[in-house]
Structure formats: structure tokens, C-alpha cells
Structure 1
Amino acid sequence: MNSRRKTHRNSKRYIQWFGVTVIVLALFRCAFLGDSTTQTNAEEQVCLADDDSIANQEIVDVQESQDAQEQLNAQSPSISSAPSAIDWSKPHRIKGVANFDKAFPDSNHVQLISAHRWGVSPVKDREDAERRKCELVYIGSSPYYIIKPLTSSIPYLVPHAALLLEDIGRSFMDSLQAKGLPLHYAVVTSVLRSEYDVKRLRRHNGNATEQSCHLYGTTFDINYNLFAKVGDPEVCPKPDYGEARYKQVLSEVLNDLRQQGRCYVKYERKQPCFHITVR
């Protein structure tokens, strides 16, 4: 009997201890899982926060990029919104120069220094000029000016001077168009001269000098009383004489290029021309 009671008591204690153990393990498991869940949730929240931050940063970057592009577009208008180069409803006013002698005073002595710098050694005659084509450029044909039939010079210039002449002719036409005037060519009357040409010319031309800038291929003359109408069907366009407006427009072009340091200009009176040497 006592043995039975003792066995029953031991079994009861075992069950009690087992139950306590189970409860402790259950509590421990709940506590552990709770911390793990909390940590996982925290990590998920941090990840979500990071994703939101990245997404927000991308939105900010895109917005800043769009703002920068809009600012760039505002500073650099598109071609379609850019104003026309020439406003045909408002022709530009002809300004010209107040005094031709004061605006273009560059004497032969001044121009000769530049001719020595940029030019070739003087050619003896036309045959010598033909042999020097490696140093000279043929300027007998251009869409911006015409060469009057030459009797005392040859249609060649050094490349530096040929470019200047081309720019003068193109700028002259652009100015005529901007001012609403009919297009005319500038007329070139003298270019490269040989030593033989200079000697022969000095017999009847008081402006001709033995130390002529024309000897070096750096100098040319443009008539200020003679202009040729563009579109004339003749091979040699019929010239317009005494057109003061064209003279003023041409003087504007030459004055601008002279002030830019691209050329020297002398206003000649005995021979009606602008005597021009490249710089």
C-alpha cells in the first residue's frame, strides 16, 4: 500500500515537472519568436524605408533633370522658335560712314608693311605669275563679286587676301538683302600686278607707284561707283553707275572689317575705288 502511494506520488511529481518544463519551453519559444518577428518586421520596415528613399531620390533626380533641360531649352531656343535672320517687314537703315577720307586713311606706306608680311615676292610678268600658281589663288570667278576685264593686272591673290575678298562680297550682298535693296555684285577693278604692269601703268596713272602693294598679291581695288546687278542675263552684267546707296552699304562692310583688324583701306579719289590690303 505504501509502495503504491509512493509510486503515485512520484508519477504526479513527474507530470508536474513535465508540465512546468513544457510551459517554460513554450514561454521561451514565444519570447524568442516574438523577438525574431519584431526584428524581421524592423528589417522589413528598414528595407521598405530604403526602397522609398531610393524611389524618392529617383523622382528627385528625374525632376532635377527635367528642370535642367527646361532651363537649357530656355537659354538655347530651338530653331523653330529662333527669330528670322532678316526681318523683311523692317529693312535695316543704311548708315554708311560720315567721312570716307577719315574712315579709310590707310596710306600705301602702311599697307606695304602688311603686303611684305603676307605677300609673295613680286612677279616679273604674266608668265612668271602663271608659274607661281602654287603660291597664288585664281579669283576670276565668284558668286559674290565680279572682276572687271583687266588690262593692267592678273586675277590672282594670296589665299589670305582671296578669303578677305570673298567675305567682302558675301557681306555686301547680305547687307543689301537686309536693307531691302536689289542685289548687286561688288566690282573688282585691279588685283595682282607684275613689275611690267606697274612700269607701264605709271606712265598714265598718277596713283601708281613703283612700290605698289599690288605686286605682292595681297591687294585689290573695288570700284565704289560701279556695281553689277545680279540676275542680268548677259555674261558680263550691265553695271549701275552713280548709285550712292550701294557705295554707303559697301563702306559699312569695309569699315566693319577694318575695325576687326582684317584689312587696311584707302579711299582713292583719282581712281574711284577702295584700295584694300589684307592684314
Structure 2
Amino acid sequence: MTDKRDIRHSNQRFTRYHFLLVFWGLVAFLFGIKLLFPEWASRQIESFTQSARDAVSQADDSVTVHSRSEDSLFLAPRRNPIWLTKDGTPVKNRVTSVPTFDEAFPDLNDVQLATASKIGIQSCQNREEATRHGSKLVFIGDSPYYIVKPLAHSIPYLVPRAATLLEEISRSFLDSLTTKGIPFHKLIVTSVLRTEEDVQRLRRHNGNASENSCHRFGTTFDISYNHYFRVQDPALPPQVETWAVTLKSILAEVLNDQRKRGTCYVKYEVHQSCFHITAR
């Protein structure tokens, strides 16, 4: 004989049939609401969609989180290098460079582009449009720490974060020269902010130039590793430049330190003879 408790338990079980019945019932109910009150339903759907958009826009992605963490590094006071040893003689550190340039600076354009498009300005069609972003850009054409070569396919402007990075790299390079007993040489910046028209003109002459250039966002600059500006002492006869290979090695040390700190991406460009640098 079947136990009455088993029969009662079987009758109370929620089966797949019951689930489908409830599900389609809810769908029919909501569809009826949409038909009877279309304006109210549309407002509710739009409100829900906007809330979802807001949640996505407010969520901290990896680029935003990292850029906030770097703010403390950029704003912190610079540490003065140690110029003298304990006995008062000038410090003379040796040049170490990096094992290989390709391995030390492997950050491809796609990696840099993801950050540049996030923290930079919107790309500009032409230079007239770029002037409208003046409040978001910093003029970098006049600095005691580096030289900007005459520019044909870019203009000397960067977003503040990138301008600060460029100055920090340049000052660290000068400090490193001093601690290694090497005469002052300024870095030479070869490319900065490009408009869409600049990119197209450049591509006519340089097949290696990328159409999706990070330079369009004001976050990126190029520094030559073959040419430097020798700072002359006016009280002395003209001084010769230090061998470029030595200066390149010291610049690589500085960039490697900055990259490890997370302040920038760096790509070693063989054909353009430069380091391609994007602020983070």
C-alpha cells in the first residue's frame, strides 16, 4: 500500500511543467503591460538601460585604476641624486644599459593605443580643431631639459600627464649623465601630437607609420636615440658630443626604470631610430 505521505509529497513537487507555466505566464503578463501602457513601459526600460550604462561607465577599468595610482608618483617630490661620495669625490656610476632593447621595450601599438585613447584627448581632424583642445593640452616646445626638433608632421602639445612624464625622463637623464661623469646632453623629441591629416600626410612618405597612431591622443612622444644636443660651456672651446651609443644606453636605463615603475609604455623603434613612449 502506498504511503499517504509519499502521495502528498509527489503532489507538492515543483516540476519542469510548473516552471514553464510560471515563466510563460510572467512573459504574457509583462507583454500585456507593454501593450496597455506603452509609454510607461518604455520609460522603465530606458531607466533600466541608463542605469546599466552608468554602472559600466563608473566601473573602474584597469587603465583608470592604474592612472590613478601613477598620480602619486608624478606628484611626489623628486629625490636629488647623490653627487659626492663620503670622502667628497664626485660619484661616477658605470653605464649598465639593458640586456636587449627589443626585450626591455616590447610594448606594441595596440597596447599603447588602449591607454592613449582612454586618458588622452579625442583625435582631431586637423590642427585648427586641435586648437580647441587648448585647455586640455600643454605646450612643450620650450624646455630647459630637452629639445623639440622642428616638426613637420606633428605639433608640440601633450596632455599634462605626458608632459610631466617627458620632463621627468629628461631630468632623470641629465641626473644620470652627471652621476656617470658624462657632459650634459639634452634629449631630442622628434614627434608629438598628430592630427588625422598629419597621420595621412606622414603615411604618404613613411609606409611604416600607423594609421591608428597613439600620437593622435596627445599622450605619446618619440625621443631619438641616435641624436642628442650637446650643452656647451660658453667659457670653453666647443666641446664634442659623447658617443651616441653611450648616451643611448643611459637613456635606456632611465626608460627602463620608468617603465618598471609603471609610468609609461615604451617601444623600441628600429626604423624610426627612436623610443616610442606613451604615458600611463
TM-score w.r.t. structure 2 length? 0.66
Once the two structures are superposed, the pairs formed by residues 256-275 of structure 1 within 5 Å of their partners are: 256-275=257-276
8 Å CA contact 2:183, 2:242 repeated in 1: no
8 Å CA contact 1:229, 1:239 repeated in 2: yes
Which structure 1 segments of 5+ residues have no match? 1-82
Alignment CA distance shift 1:84-1:95 (3 Å): closer
1:276 is paired with a residue whose SS is strand
Name the counterpart of 2:9.
none
Name the counterpart of 2:155.
154
8 Å CA contact 2:185, 2:230 repeated in 1: yes
Q: Partner letter of residue 269 of structure 2?
A: E
Q: Structure 1 residue 171 and structure 2 residue 167: aligned?
A: no
8 Å CA contact 1:189, 1:221 repeated in 2: yes
- CA shift, 1:89, in A, is 3.6
Alignment CA distance shift 1:241-1:216 (3 Å): farther
Q: Distance in 1 between matches of 2:233 and 2:180?
A: 21
Percent identity over the alignment is 56
Q: Partner letter of residue 272 of structure 1?
A: S
Alignment CA distance shift 1:223-1:135 (3 Å): same
8 Å CA contact 2:81, 2:175 repeated in 1: no
Name the counterpart of 1:124.
125
Aligned residues: 194
8 Å CA contact 1:186, 1:223 repeated in 2: yes
Q: Distance in 2 between matches of 1:199 and 1:84?
A: 43
TM-score w.r.t. structure 1 length? 0.66
What do residues 69-97 of structure 1 show as CA deviations (whole Å, max 9, x unaligned)?
Answer: xxxxxxxxxxxxxx982124440010001
Spell out structure 1 runs of 4+ moving beyond 6 A: none
2:134 is paired with a residue whose SS is coil
Q: Distance in 2 between matches of 1:169 and 1:89?
A: 21
1:221 is paired with a residue whose SS is strand
- CA shift, 1:240, in A, is 4.6
What do residues 171-190 of structure 1 show as CA deviations (whole Å, max 9, x unaligned)?
Answer: 00000000000000000000
Q: Distance in 1 between matches of 2:239 and 2:124?
A: 32
Once the two structures are superposed, the pairs formed by residues 40-79 of structure 1 within 5 Å of their partners are: none
Q: Distance in 1 between matches of 2:260 and 2:279?
A: 13
Once the two structures are superposed, the pairs formed by residues 1-279 of structure 1 within 5 Å of their partners are: 85-87=82-84, 88-231=89-232, 240=241, 243-279=244-280
What do residues 28-67 of structure 1 show as CA deviations (whole Å, max 9, x unaligned)?
Answer: xxxxxxxxxxxxxxxxxxxxxxxxxxxxxxxxxxxxxxxx
8 Å CA contact 2:82, 2:91 repeated in 1: no
1:134 is paired with a residue whose SS is helix
8 Å CA contact 2:196, 2:216 repeated in 1: yes
Alignment CA distance shift 1:230-1:109 (3 Å): same
8 Å CA contact 1:225, 1:242 repeated in 2: no
- Larger radius of gyration, structure 1 or 2? 1
Q: Partner letter of residue 223 of structure 2?
A: I
What do residues 157-181 of structure 1 show as CA deviations (whole Å, max 9, x unaligned)?
Answer: 0000000000000000000000000
